[in-house]
Amino acid sequence: DNRIAIVGAGHAGGTAAALLRQHGWTGPITLIGDEPVLPYQRPPLSKAWLKGKADAGALALKHDAFYAERAIALKLGATVAGADAAARSLSLSTGETVAFDTLILATGARARGLGVPGHDLPGVLALRSAADAERLKTALATSGRLAVIGGGYLGLEVAASARSLGVDVVVIERAPRILARVASEPLSAFFQDYHQRRDVVFECDAEVAAFHGEDGVLRGVALADGRTIAADLALVSIGAAPNDALARALGCACDDGIIVDSRARTSVPGIYAIGDATRRPLPLYEATACVESVPSALEQARQLVADLTGAPAPAPEAPWFWSDQYDVKLQIVGLPIGVAQTYLRGDRDSGRFAIFHLDAEERVQAVEAVNAPAEFMFGRMLVADRRRVSPDRLADATIPIKQCLA
């Protein structure tokens, strides 16, 4: 029997185990994770769950019995501390060893830290795991003012959730604008305005120099320009770093993420990698990237299952992502690579619009849809199929989106 071991019982690892059984894999499967809980979804941790609108049970990918019924052996609360590619064996922090024929690395990513003085004060938190989220939720219950360090999606979602819990929020961003790496300028401006109208304060172009505390309690965030921003709680949300140390130890090629092909194979035969830990190909853009999103992790899980079961490789998907802040649902498809022209469809002030990014041949490269599910859904097809559109019709929101093809 071909024994499969999966390291990392997160969204990618849990999904891969379930899909393998669904596609008829009969060999032994062992799913190993260092968190002491069943595989769960992280997206609600900054959104519905943080606001108290989803309970812990709703986060689990599958219920307990699912794994037993499908003969998926779970080893939770166990860190894979060492691995031997030649001997095909893993050593666990529990003292056990697990033998494998095929290995799937789904080790995810960790929150990047901010190595400034005071970063270890009790009121300076990060958010990656359910345990982190518990700490944040407990702290928010008694916090007067939260400083969010980093104006990316995660930070802004926590800012929105904290406002709905009645906590004052200041967002501190090093770049000149929020979402600089991940959104177009008009979309950044929309979100900044939306948050400001709900009394969130923004400090852009601001570099954190230190966290100040008194008697072990956070009092403020010192900026490089000499100012101190008052806060009794801080969330450091400045991005994630792929967990690729185990892959390196196994001899897999890595470049800020485990390098995989479009079948989720690493450079070492018999070792696959999926999810946030990877640097993956994006065939639609002839590029590679670390894509930290649930849809990407799920696509890679399907790729590896196809490869292992001998099924044809699934057609490449257009990368997509979502974010929920207040009553705004943002959905993004594609990447703004090779963009020559940008069109706004709908009215920004109405809170329902979409921004289309086209290349020089008027093919859709990316769509940022705000409360605009039809534009997003159609955008997925446009991006994946590299369709050309008519910019004039696109910019006229009275013309149905499906009639905007060139």
59 or 404: CB nearest ligand FAD:
59
35 touching ligand FAD, by CB under 6 A: yes
79 or 288: CB nearest ligand FAD:
79
**Nearest residue to ligand FAD, by Cβ distance, number only:** 10
7 or 284: CB nearest ligand FAD:
7
Both tokens assigned to 43: 């997206």
Which of 4, 17, 19, 33 touches ligand FAD (CB under 6 A)? 33
Site size toward ligand FAD, by CB under 6 A = 36
335 neighbors 282 (Cβ within 8 angstroms): yes
Q: Kindly state the smallest distance separating residue 130's Cβ from ligand FAD, in Å.
A: 9
Which of 19, 38, 98, 106 touches ligand FAD (CB under 6 A)? 106
| Region of 40-48, 137-145, 226-234, 386-394 interacting with ligand FAD (CB under 6 A) | 40-48
In whole angstroms, give the CA distance from residue 365 to residue 384.
9
Which of 59, 127, 170, 335 touches ligand FAD (CB under 6 A)? 127
244 touching ligand FAD, by CB under 6 A: no
Burial of 25 (0-12, 13-18, 19+ CB in 10 A): middle
Which of 5, 6, 11, 218 touches ligand FAD (CB under 6 A)? 11
46 neighbors 157 (Cβ within 8 angstroms): yes
80 touching ligand FAD, by CB under 6 A: yes
Which of 322, 338, 339, 363 touches ligand FAD (CB under 6 A)? 322
In whole angstroms, give the CA distance from residue 370 to residue 353.
5
367 touching ligand FAD, by CB under 6 A: no
Burial of 87 (0-12, 13-18, 19+ CB in 10 A): exposed
Both tokens assigned to 11: 């969204």
Beta bridge pairs of residue 244: none
| Region of 105-113, 180-188, 191-199, 356-364 interacting with ligand FAD (CB under 6 A) | 105-113
212 neighbors 118 (Cβ within 8 angstroms): yes
Residue type, 201: V
Cα separation of the two ends of the chain: 53
What's the number of CA atoms in the CB half-sphere (13 Å) around residue 140?
28
CA distances from 335 to 22, 77, 320, 332 (A): 31, 36, 9, 8
Which of 5, 108, 167, 232 touches ligand FAD (CB under 6 A)? 108
In whole angstroms, give the CA distance from residue 378 to residue 242.
32
Binding mask 276-305 toward ligand FAD (x if CB under 6 A, else -) reads xx--------------xxxx-x--------
Which of 28, 48, 70, 79 touches ligand FAD (CB under 6 A)? 79
Which residues in 45-74 contact ligand FAD (CB under 6 A)? 45-46
149 touching ligand FAD, by CB under 6 A: no
Burial of 405 (0-12, 13-18, 19+ CB in 10 A): middle
Strands 217-223 and 228-230: antiparallel
Residues that bind ligand FAD (CB under 6 A): 7-13, 32-35, 42-43, 45-46, 79-80, 106-108, 127-128, 154, 243, 246, 275-277, 292-295, 297, 321-323
